[in-house]
Structure 1
Amino acid sequence: MSSPVTSNDREKVVSKLPGWLRQNLKIRAAQHGVEIQAAVEQGIREWCSLASAVATIDTAGSDSFSTFLPFGQWEEFRQTAADRRVSLTQGLAQSIQLWLDANPAPNVERPEITRRIIVCNQKGGVGKTAITAGLGEALAESPEALHAVRVAKALAKALRESETQAGQAPPTEDPLDIENLPGPGLKVLLVDFDPQCHLTNQLGAAPVPMNGDSLTSHMAGDPKGDLRDLIVSIDDETFGGRLHLLPACNDAFLLDVRLSAVRAREAALERALAPIESDYDVIIVDCPPSLGLSMDAAAYYGRRRDGEKPGQSGALIVVQAEDSSADAYELLTTQVDDLRGDLQVHIDYLGIVVNLYDSRRGYIATSSLQGWVDIKDPRVVGLIGDLKEQKEAVRVKRPLLAYAPKSQQAIGMRALAREVL
């Protein structure tokens, strides 16, 4: 049936559609960046113009479906359905399937050069590991499903609101600030570069045994096997085998000592990971809170390579809205700037992530956040709240985006992923 309720020059129409077909339509329309009503309009137009009927669609279990179509199109569709002796539900299902067939899911866009993201800060306890995991999970989410994402304007809004939020609860998400978008579907490797093994433990993997093969051994020029043999898959259907982890080993506590005897030691991480780079679209390195040679190697690994566009790879700095993070930030940027000058390389900053934020902590938190926002270059690209879901996910050793995919933290991680992309 049709209704006089209009959207510009359109009328509302109501019919029925099987749930699986409606879901496919929602996902495919989002993948192509078109409105559902535009996809239905195009499908009906094509269906009405066919010279003969198409294959019957299984419409069992159909329920109500409504959209807006140009005035007159629904009546033309009804007449065509009557002429072909099919129900309106069947005709609509065929029309939508026709549009789906004509607009297949786009291929995931793969970077020409594997992107390398170095998650760092010289201060421990700011949540680098949580950001590393959440960012990697968000980048690997399925492109064949829709996921709640906080839009860019919502981040700006949250940053503005934070200035006046002292003593109040953290702002809640406005439904209008959330979009349901397909996942990027990228192949991601998380590298636990911290001898404390936090990333490895949080994702439910086992640290690499001492005295065996490890990333440290490969960096020190003493490999005992193929680095691929150490990599484990983070198994969850939302990642579809695209999310992998290179676990840490406690021998990384000795890495700086071992690197001191290695030639061109700043390139040690790059030499170790080079054989596996082509297997991934993005490699994210969870760095230790260190000012030593290992951090030099990580920063060098994230440098801009020949032919790589600015901002594709580089350092993502995780901070908290408190003073000690600012002190550590100065130490990190000084080290990176010295490396830039000494080696004559470009190391880009991908942005600042303010993690574990809670405006109820008052003036210290809100004024510190404003201080990060005022830096401008690098700019704040993520604001992640201090909420229980992340702690719960760590306790049960599951990825946050699998454990609590609709949580505010998960929504924020997806927003961060799109800012970094």
Structure 2
Amino acid sequence: MTSPSSGDREKVVSKLPGPLQQELKIRTAQRGIDIQHAVDEGISAWRGLGSNLAAIDTTGAKSFSTWLPPGQWDGFRSDCAARGVSLVQGLAQSVSLWLETHPAPGVQRPVVVKRMIVCNQKGGVGKTAVTAGAGQALAEDPDRLHAVGVSKHFAHARAGADETAAEESAHEQLPGLGLRVLLVDFDPQGHLTKQLGHELLPLDGDSLTKHMAGDSKGKLKDLVVSVDDERFGDRLHLLPSCTDAFLLDVKLSGVRAREAALERALMPLEENYDVILIDCPPSLGLSMDAAVYYGRRRDGEAPGNSGVLVVVQAEDSSADAYGLLTAQISDLRADMHLELDYLGIVVNHYDARRGFIATSSLESWMAIRDPRVVGLIGDLKEQKEAVRMKQPLLAYAPRCTQAVALRALAREIV
């Protein structure tokens, strides 16, 4: 049946098998086109065929509606009758034809591995949660749809609107990014390792610290573990921490070209990944120098492909810590002649109900244009619950407001 037109199209209502509807929804999202245009193209191609396609099982077909050019549905109905197939069968064949001729695009992989240094020497701002969440969002299944968006508060704040209360996220359904991601727990406290349900590496075994200090006992890749969940496939891995990292600055003091120690250690792993995220300790020592050096722009690398992601909170002490961090980065840039990019600022643990301090602080962060704020993550219970359960947040609560915002963040920095 048809309904009154909307613009230059008319609404049509029919039926289509549920799995076919879902595949159509995913594929059009992957290719960045509207469902109505895909169905339009499929029907046109089907009508141009010299013979019918193989019959499709339409048992249990569900209601399906879309918008088509005026007259196309009537012509399609006539063709179905002439070919001796039902309208539902003809539509199913048309959609299947479009899917076959428009395969899913491959994952867009970076030319140079993206190296993201997640840092702030102030503890408790949520660097680990942002590292883990962004990594999960980057690795999600590209053949499934996931809720993606930014909070209304973030959108209004970026536009300069005056908000007084946190709002729920507005989102859309988009395919996962499907990137191969390595999370590196560079903090001797090991929060990233523990939150994802793994054990710290034993003190008497091999570790990232030993590889950086030149005391390794084997290959670093043998220490890497998988973060298992069907939504990540085998794309999300973790290099666990070891408490020997508390001695890293001491060990690095005697290492040749110590600023390049982290790069030397991780270089053999890079060919296996699209993105490497470093969860840094709350420190401004030699280990931080090595992390920042690792995130520098390499020869031939595009600006913004790698760099520093600063996690802050909407309160005054974060602003003080941010000043110390950016001063250190400026010194490293000058002393070592580094091309080092900021990927942005993430305001974490935000809750407007905390009043003027939170809202005014957020406005101050938003006023910074270089680097700009690229994410606003709410302070909600799901993150704490996921940590308690030792599960990835995006697996534990994939549709929660924090998960939606972390997917938006991933798209901002990728």
1:226 paired residue among 201, 205, 219 = 219
How far residue 159 of structure 1 moved from its aligned partner, in angstroms, is: 4.4
Checking the alignment, whether the CA contact within 8 Å between 1:163 and 1:370 is kept in structure 2 is: no
Cα displacement string for residues 4-60 of structure 1 (whole angstroms, at most 9, x for unaligned residues):
2x2211111111111100000000001111100000000000000100111111212
Query: Could you tell me whether the CA contact under 8 Å between 2:150 and 2:171 is conserved in 1?
Result: yes
User: Could you say which residue in structure 1 is the equivalent of 2:73?
Assistant: 74
Cα pair distance change 1:161/1:236, threshold 3 Å:
farther
The whole-number CA distance in structure 1 between the counterparts of 2:130 and 2:158 is: 19
Is 1:329 equivalent to 2:328 in the alignment? no
Distance in 1, matches of 2:157 and 2:77, equals 48
2:307 aligned partner: 314
Query: What letter matches 1:97 in structure 2?
Result: S
Scaled by the length of structure 2, what TM-score is found?
0.98
- Residue 167 of structure 2: aligned partner: 171
Aligned length: 414
**Offset at residue 152 of structure 1 (A):** 9.0
Q: 1:89 Cα shift?
A: 0.9
Q: Is 1:243 equivalent to 2:239 in the alignment?
A: no
Aligned residue number for residue 18 of structure 1: 17
- Matched residues in 2 for 1:59 and 1:226: separation? 54
Once the two structures are superposed, the pairs formed by residues 197-346 of structure 1 within 5 Å of their partners are 197-346=190-339
Residue in 1 that maps onto 2:373: 380
Deviation at 1:183, TM superposition (A): 0.8
Deviations 1:237-294 (A, max 9, x none): 1111100000000000000000001000000000000001010000000000001000
CA distance in 2: counterparts of 1:394 and 1:282, whole angstroms:
23
Query: How far apart are the structure 2 equivalents of 1:10 and 1:151?
Result: 31
8 Å CA contact 1:190, 1:285 repeated in 2 = yes
Q: CA RMSD in A?
A: 1.3
Whether contact under 8 Å (1:119, 1:287) holds in the other structure is yes
CA distance in 2, matches of 1:419, 1:156: 13
Q: For the residues of structure 1 that align with 2:298 and 2:274, how far apart are their CA atoms?
A: 15
Counterparts of 1:268 and 1:260, CA distance in 2? 11
Residues 160 and 385 of structure 1, relative CA distance in 2, 3 Å threshold:
farther
What TM-score comes out, normalization by structure 1 length? 0.96
Tell me, what secondary structure is at the counterpart of 2:349? strand
Contact 1:210–1:250 (CA under 8 A) maintained in structure 2: yes
| Distance in 1, Cα, partners of 2:132 & 2:44 | 45
Q: Secondary structure at the match of 2:278?
A: strand
CA distance in 1, matches of 2:349, 2:161: 14
User: Hey, what does 2:3 align to over in structure 1?
Assistant: 3
Task: Tell me the residue number matched to 2:143.
Answer: 144
Could you say what secondary structure the match of 1:273 adopts?
helix
CA distance, structure 1, for counterparts of residue 65 and residue 309 of structure 2: 44
Residue 155 (structure 1) shift:
3.3
> Could you say what secondary structure the match of 2:314 adopts?
coil
Structure-2 separation of matches of 1:55 and 1:331 = 67
CA distances 1:195-253 after superposition (whole Å, capped 9, x unpaired): 00000000001111111100000000111111111111111111111000000000000
Structure 1 unpaired stretches of 5+: none
CA distance in 1, matches of 2:158, 2:35: 32
Residues 1:133 and 2:132 are matched in the alignment:
yes
Contact preservation (8 Å) 1:193, 1:288: yes
Q: Give the Cα separation in 2 of the matches to 1:179 and 1:309.
A: 29
Residue pair 2:151, 2:167 contacting (<8 A) in 1 also: no
Structure 1 CA distance for aligned equivalents of residues 26 and 136 of structure 2: 19
Deviations 1:129-174 (A, max 9, x none): 0000000000001110111111598733254577431xx4x2223x
| Whole-angstrom distance in 2 between the partners of 1:91 and 1:311 | 48
Judge conservation of contact 1:151–1:179 (CA < 8 Å) in 2: no
Cα-to-partner distance string for 1:182-202 (whole Å, 9 max, x where unaligned) = 111000000000000000000
Partner of 2:62: 63
Task: Output the amino acid matched with 1:2.
Answer: T
Q: 1:33-182 counterparts in 2 under 5 A?
A: 33-150=32-149, 155-159=154-158, 163-165=162-164, 168=165, 170-173=166-169, 177-182=170-175
CA deviation profile, 1:80-129 (whole Å, cap 9, x unmatched)? 11111111111101000100011000011111110000000010000000
Equivalent-residue separation in structure 2 for 1:147 and 1:26 (angstroms): 12
What amino acid is aligned across from residue 177 of structure 2 in structure 1?
Answer: P
Instruction: Provide the C-alpha distance between the structure 1 equivalents of 2:157 and 2:72, rounded to a whole number of angstroms.
Output: 43
| Other structure's SS at 2:271 match | helix
Return closer, same or farther for 1:151/1:127 CA change in 2, 3 Å cut-off: closer
Q: Which amino acid aligns with 2:60?
A: G
2:116 maps to a residue whose letter is I
Rounded Cα–Cα distance in structure 2 between residues aligned with 1:372 and 1:119:
17
8 Å contact 2:304–2:343 — kept in the other structure?
yes
Q: Following the alignment from structure 1 to structure 2, what is the Cα–Cα distance between the partners of residues 151 and 72? A: 40
AA aligned to 1:101 is E
- Give, in whole Å, the separation in 1 of the partners of 2:342 and 2:24: 38
Report if the CA contact (8 A) 2:120-2:311 is conserved: yes
1:352 aligns with 2:355: no
